[in-house]
Copies of this chain bind each other. A is one copy, B any other.
């Protein structure tokens, strides 16, 4: 029995609210249960220096937790003067994942920045960020086409992400904080709507896991991700 009362493969209620703020070209509040992340997409002309002159666009991401998104307050990174390793690791994952959703050549020399700010955290903030940011990205692309900045839709496929893990010996999907903090193994899966993998990151927090357990985790993840694609589609309809 999970602390959340959910079945092993059951994901939390997921809500995707578009146009959550008024200035961004794409603005999505994504909620996985009590985890709430604001994903804003910004379209800017030009690309970073290392990309110049290749006729291709760029997608980047920044991730942050509000100091009191968590049970106890964590110090503000701006006040400490640097972003922590966890933050950098997560925003690199978000950016890499979303770049894999686009044909960067069709984006022209433009940059889309995805700001994922965690308003409230209850496990799975990085996977919620990716899932929400993909919807914000689609809205930003629609904006770009409406303004004539791009002609062809660069989106190759939607992507979504889900956390899975081994909790008291059983593989479960979409861990909330109380489950996550006790899980032996923690895995994040980023998948395309066509059922292919963008990123798989599995970590033994306690005991090492077997190749068979990895297999089960992938299966349960794949199942939950199908649901997420349906929710994204409904939100974009």
Contact = CB atoms under 8 A, between A and B. Distances in A.
Given A38-B119, A68-B24, A78 B82 contact: yes
Contacts of A77: 78
A120 B88 contact: no
A214 B218 contact: yes
A178 interface: no
Interface stretch (A8-16, A124-132, A167-175, A190-198): A190-198
Nearest to A96: B203
Interface stretch (A51-59, A145-153, A205-213): A205-213
Contacts of A115: 66-68, 73, 76
Q: How many identical subunits does the complex contain?
A: 6
A151 to B, nearest CB: 24
B218 A200 contact: no
A199 to B, nearest CB: 5
Contacts of A198: 203-204, 208
A144 interface: no
B218 A196 contact: no
Given A78-B77, A204-B199, A34 B62 contact: no
Interface residues of A, number: 65
Interface in A111-139: 113, 115, 117, 119-120
A23 interface: yes
A222 interface: yes
Contacts of A49: none
Given A62-B79, A66-B115, A199-B204, 20 more contacts: A23-B71, A23-B120, A38-B119, A40-B68, A62-B76, A77-B78, A78-B78, A79-B83, A85-B88, A85-B89, A88-B89, A157-B208, A187-B200, A195-B210, A196-B210, A197-B208, A197-B211, A197-B214, A199-B201, A199-B202
18 contacts: A21-B68, A21-B119, A23-B70, A23-B71, A38-B66, A40-B68, A42-B67, A62-B67, A73-B113, A96-B203, A194-B208, A195-B210, A196-B208, A197-B208, A197-B210, A199-B201, A211-B218, A214-B218
